[in-house]
Amino acid sequence: MAGGAGYIGSHVCKALAAEGYLPVTLDDLSSGHAGAVRWGPLVQADIADAAAVAHAVQTHNVVGALHFAAKSLVGESVRDPLKYYRENVGKGVALLEVLQATGVDAILFSSTAAVYGSPAAPAPIREDDPTRPINPYGASKLAFEDALRSSARASGGRCAVLRYFNAAGADSDGELGEDHDPETHLIPLIVRASRGETPPLRVFGDDYDTRDGTPIRDYVHVEDLAAAHLLVLGQLFQGQTELVLNAGAGEGVSVREVLQAAEDCLGRPTPAVVGKRREGDPPMLVADTSRLTALGWAPRKSLQDMISSTAAWREKTGPIASA
């Protein structure tokens, strides 16, 4: 589990452990949290540290890899693109080389809807639609996708790519939640602002060509996303050689609609101000998830579940000084 101490990776670790796997987390803890690694060993190392990766694989008899480790801030990627190519492509390729050399030939990669860029049509995005990233974050993730698939084809390995849309929510047992620094995701920012922990939420643009002027995104609960990982990993272990799958709820919700849902769920409005558009943000990203649902997966959690579980997690962990 490269990056298994992060938000999505830690939820997947818990889900894997519940199914009888032993998740081995490799994480440098630059953005992940050691306290989130509770269901298997933690190897604190950079994914490009070949000796550490090889030792972890051999010591724990690793048979499959899930790669979550990445830099993921769109705005930062625009300001510092080389950092994103170095971290998301260069280090990813270094990891891939060691995994191949040590015989790990089933690899599941955590990718992103940002590979699609800004789609020309508002229809849900399919996996075979054009990939035209509009920021270095999306471009770097797409570059590693290409490296992974090309390498698997050449070596006879097996690989899968899950293109996430917007993961949200927290563990229903209250053990895990979203804890980024800085936090950039909408739902935890809404919860913090509604609790008075932070200044009013900044809405990045209300002049998009959408139904209410604010960007539209597809939100999927992190526990549903974890279930998708288990399903897809099982497909690789059963002999599937290559999969590229969207992971979302298949429905689009605008920023204003999320704010209204949060008010309904939390019983209070969220203070918010409208600012300028954020560079690199497309107006709409909604998934066509038919490939994933054809494998037997379906999202079970609602937008309200995402908001309420995030609020419960924040209540448990206490206020944060800044966003």
Peptide bond before residue 299 is cis, with ω within 30 degrees of 0 = no
Distance of CA 21 to CAs 24, 100, 143, Å? 9, 21, 30
In terms of DSSP H, where are the helices of the chain? 7-18, 50-60, 74-79, 81-85, 91-101, 136-155, 186-194, 222-237, 255-266, 290-294, 303-317
214 vs 256: CA distance, rounded Å: 7
User: In whole angstroms, how large is the CA radius of gyration of the chain?
Assistant: 19
Neighbours of 78 (CB within 10 A): 16
Catalytic residues: 137
Q: How many CA atoms lie within 13 A of 263 on its CB side?
A: 10
Smallest CA-to-CA distance from 289 within 226, 245, 244, 228 is with 245
Bridge partners of 42? Answer: 25
Neighbouring CB atoms inside 10 A of 315's CB total 12
Q: Is 144 left (phi over 0), alpha (psi -120 to 50) or beta?
A: alpha
d(CA 42, CA 265): 36
Residue 139 identity (one-letter amino acid):
A
> What is the SS3 assignment for 163?
strand
